[in-house]
Amino acid sequence: MTPGTNNGFVYAVFGLRLRSAFPLPELRSIADDGAPHDVTLEWGRVTARLEGAVDVDSAVQVTARDFHLAVPAGRFLVSDGRSILVDARPGTSEAELRPYLLGTVMSALCHQRGLLPLHAAAVLFGESAVAFAGPSGVGKSTLAAWFQDLGHAVLADDLLALEIDPEGIPRALPGVPRIRLWGEAAGGGGKISLPISTAATGAPAIRRLYRLRAEGGDPPSICRSRGPERVSAILDGVYRWPIAVAMGRGPACFAQGLAVASRCEVFEVSFTHAAGSPETLALALETHLVC
């Protein structure tokens, strides 16, 4: 278990210092050297309804300052990009809460802090970041594990946060240092979390983004996107886009997507999920990256 301090447990994620009231073993622990924390995560009571909130769906409410998530495990409140409050249902374990915290809740935190969260995995290739974007189950984590085995540091497995620096360069912020794999890829029938053995630090510029489409391409087809297609590919990958819109961040996300498209090569990848396809896809991308 991560060692705690009198002030809780301190972690680094998305370039932020997060102090948590309970351990989050998936995150990278850092020393509590007295520096200010960017985000605090605490236990507390979260009301069932936010005043003046917009309902994004049956589980999510949003106001200008707050994000509210209600799931069977409990309620979560993210405020001003600085505070996360957790109200667990009786009998709920911390392990049951963490998938929500490390996914939807963290994406809301990124939106509130003006970052661009993408549903993507990312690895370090040379001195730059390469992202693999797409919906759940498309193979992002498998690719991250493949490239890790080749010695490439992993920046993100499922939630990739991008920051546009003062020079307009999109940079990938290291996220949750674990890879979650399903079925045969995980060596079994369920989904497990594997620690990242070569986690990246710093915030490298993103060089390429591959949008993955399991549409039957055999062998995999990799085509460069041009013009508006590049922006569309990036915006399609925004993590929980309806949340961003409800927060009023639609125009800002569009501007960030333009910034990414202007500095990053974007490719459409069509492939099949047939037996043996993960290795075929990984080999095709590996060859493409060195071209």
pTM: 0.91
- Return the top range by mean pLDDT from 96-100, 193-197, 214-218: 96-100
pLDDT by residue (tens digit) across 2-40? 445 556 899 999 999 999 999 999 999 999 988 899 999
pLDDT by residue (tens digit) across 137-164? 888 989 998 999 899 999 998 899 999 9
pLDDT recorded at residue 188: 46
DSSP notation for the chain: ----BTTBEEEEETTEEEEESS--TTSEE----SPPPSEEEEE----S--TT-EESSSSEEE-SSEEEEEETTEEEEEETTTEEEEEEPTT--HHHHHHHIIIIIHHHHHHHTT-EEEEEEEEEETTEEEEEE-STTSSHHHHHHHHHHTTPPEEESSEEEEEE-TTS-EEEEP---EEEE-GGGGTSSS-EEEE-TTB--S-PBEEEEEEEE-S--SS-EEEE--THHHHHHHHHTBTTHHHHHHTT-HHHHHHHHHHHHHHSEEEEEE---STTHHHHHHHHHHHHHT-
Domain boundaries, the chain: 9-112, 116-289
List the CATH code of the domain at 116-289: 3.40.50.300
